[in-house]
Chains A and B, each alone.
Chain A
Amino acid sequence: MHAEKESVLTGIHFINGDTACCEGLLAAGAKFAAGYPITPSTEVVERFAQRAPTVGGLFIQMEDELAASITLQGMVWAGQKSFTVTSGPGYSLMMEHIGYAAMTETPCVFVDVQRGGPSTGLPTLPAQGDMMQARFGSHGDYSTISLVPNSPQECFDLSVTAMNLAEKFRVPVMFMMDECVGHMTEKVVIPPAEEIEVQPRRRTSKPPDEYLAYEVGEDLVPEMAHAGEGYGLYITGLTHDKKGYPLMNPKQQRELIPRLFEKISRAADELTIVEADGVEGADVVVVSYGITSRVAMRAVHLAREKGLKVGSLRLICVWPFPEKLIRQLAPKVKALIMPELNMGQVVIELERCSGGKTNVVSLPHPGGTVHDPLVILEAIERGAQ
């Protein structure tokens, strides 16, 4: 299915990442957003509030992030593609309902434009400190998908992907931007609607008397019915049976929770979304994501000018982590270097998947700005020895 023409602002623009993200979600079919605007994510919903009425959509500014993060899920079950947008402090408040979306298999997108933290931290400056929260922030155990763009162009392209994956796997997808990418203005090319692939809602073809809300097929993803269509839906965060009714016992827990993981893990290859540059035959590979990947690339170029064999592996999808790829790569290189705008989060996973087969170097940074490329260069030089 293609994007709806009236939702797509086809053309070449000079816009910031937040605005591009909004346009991507619109192109992907989002008709509804609820939010409690917070710096540096405000421009996403500011734009959406202007654009939504022109495409038959709606933006509601809620009283807080808890309300925003559950309102959007009501709208999903009412039949619309929906998202919310926030930053660190608001993201923490949304955690409860991210778990609810995972448990009820509500397809939606949570955009987190990361800023320096913890707490209110640095409202107008970048960080990547919410990466583990994106994976493990809500209580209980669940699996989800996190995408990380590194440019306004990718804020557009990848937010389309985010919405598509949410619909395909029926999970909340975390769109992990950062202040730098969100507020950075660059050229963004928005293609014609017919060139934008959009994943439609996975709706049941069964009549109400045969439909079971959580009956799954081959890919372990159930099909949806919308409220008000005569299907008598029961949606709950409690452990539930195929009908969606609460059934709270160990047997049902075992039937439900591992499936929430497996529907993602069995698509590991499809969800290994990376950009590799010169990784084959490299002595050292810099593994990075988001804005840090651009700074890392500058360091990689400097290292290559010095004659070093350096590759760059950019994680576009950080969760699920590209485990297989790292397991294959680790024994072939002298070092894997991971700069992040946090004190070392995703590097824990990199280290785990490397299994001691290579030297994993963490380059932590508390955020507020980006790495000095020379610091990464120095680590590359040390790693190559």
Chain B
Amino acid sequence: MLTELRIAGFGGQGVILAAHIIGNAVTLIEKGYATMTQNYGPEARGGAASAALVLSDEPVLYPYLTEPGILIAMSLEAYTKFGPEVKEGGFLLVEEDLVQLDALPKVPKCKIYGIPATRFAEELGKKMVLNVIMVGFFSAITKAVSPEACRAGVEHEVPKRFVDLNVKAFNRGYEYGLDVLSRQGERTRPGEEMISGLELENHPR
């Protein structure tokens, strides 16, 4: 199974760290394979930053994305730039305060899920953990990487004194993700396939 994933946002949001956490989780904990590449540029000064991950259960040959199935967008620019490349049926996970759904362009039918990750991060006392909240959300919604592995990835990647805060952040995102899924599950009528996400083109504004 090959999963292609992109994480994008502003420089400083922790895009690269988020990718490292997922890569760590897959390679070191789940014993799978992950190849991460990233875009270089003036990201460190607040421009656009993005990282790409190819996750697989066998060694990855082609290092770049060809048909991403998951986009984690932490800025509107990230969404408009990378949203259209996500394959039909793929996941779009957005920071919903930064990615205003009204501004979304028409893209192929994807499952879109929003989370107010920046607000959650502020509630936890550090805006910078928004990336880890997004990773938690990603784990809950897509099930591409287990929460246990992701938590271990967090512990591996963040400085020791911030581990507790980041694990809390991960859990916040993960639980919110489960909650979103269950709320949408409730809408399912008997006999209907469960709606695992809102289809973008029919998204209620």
Contact = CB atoms under 8 A, between A and B. Distances in A.
Interface of A: 12-14, 39-40, 123-124, 180, 183-187, 291, 294-295, 297-298, 301, 369-370, 373
Interface string B39-54: 1110000000000000
A12 B35 contact: no
Nearest to A12: B28
B131 interface: no
Contacts of A124: 39-41
A14 B27 contact: yes
A186 B27 contact: yes
B163 to A, nearest CB: 17
B36 interface: yes
Contact of B36 (A40, A184, A369): A184
Contact of A14 (B34, B39, B40): B34
A183 B37 contact: yes
Given A40-B40, A124-B40, A185 B20 contact: yes
A58 to B, nearest CB: 27
A39 B36 contact: no
Interface stretch (B58-66, B71-79, B84-92): B58-66
Interface string B13-29: 00000011001100110
Contacts of B35: 184-186
B63 A298 contact: no
Given A186-B35, A187-B28, A294 B40 contact: no
A239 B121 CA distance: 67
A113 to B, nearest CB: 12
Given A14-B28, A124-B41, A294 B34 contact: no
B40 A186 contact: no
Contacts of A186: 23, 27, 33-36, 60
A184 B60 CA distance: 12
Contact of A183 (B24, B28, B40, B61): B40
Given A12-B28, A185-B34, A297-B61, 10 more contacts: A40-B40, A124-B40, A180-B37, A183-B38, A184-B37, A184-B63, A295-B61, A370-B62, A370-B63, A373-B62
21 contacts: A12-B28, A14-B20, A14-B27, A40-B40, A123-B40, A124-B40, A185-B35, A185-B36, A185-B37, A185-B38, A186-B27, A186-B33, A187-B27, A291-B63, A294-B61, A295-B62, A297-B61, A370-B62, A370-B63, A370-B64, A373-B62
| Residue of B27, B38, B64 with highest tally of chain A CB at under 10 A | B27
Contacts of B36: 14, 184-186
A55 to B, nearest CB: 23
Contacts of A294: 61-63
Contacts of A369: 64
A367 to B, nearest CB: 14
A373 B66 CA distance: 11
A294 to B, nearest CB: 5
Interface of B: 19-20, 23-24, 27-28, 33-41, 60-64
A6 B82 CA distance: 44
Contacts of B63: 180, 184, 291, 294, 370
Contacts of A301: 61
Nearest to A369: B64
B58 to A, nearest CB: 11
In order of increasing CB-CB distance, the 5 nearest A-B pairs are: A124-B40, A187-B27, A185-B36, A298-B61, A294-B61
Contacts of A373: 62
A184 B65 CA distance: 13
Nearest to B28: A12
Contacts of A185: 19-20, 23, 34-38
A187 B25 CA distance: 11
A39 B61 contact: no
A301 B59 CA distance: 13
A291 B38 CA distance: 16
A365 to B, nearest CB: 14
A291 B61 CA distance: 9
Contacts of A14: 20, 23-24, 27-28, 34, 36
A370 B143 CA distance: 30
B24 to A, nearest CB: 5
A369 B63 CA distance: 10
A124 B41 CA distance: 8
Contacts of B20: 14, 185
A247 B127 CA distance: 69
A331 B91 CA distance: 51
B101 to A, nearest CB: 32
A301 B61 CA distance: 10
Contacts of A187: 27-28, 33-34
Contacts of A123: 40
A315 to B, nearest CB: 17
Nearest to B35: A186
A39 B37 contact: no
Nearest to B21: A14
B143 to A, nearest CB: 21
Contacts of A297: 61
A298 B66 CA distance: 13
A176 to B, nearest CB: 17
Nearest to B19: A185
A370 B62 CA distance: 9
A180 B54 CA distance: 14
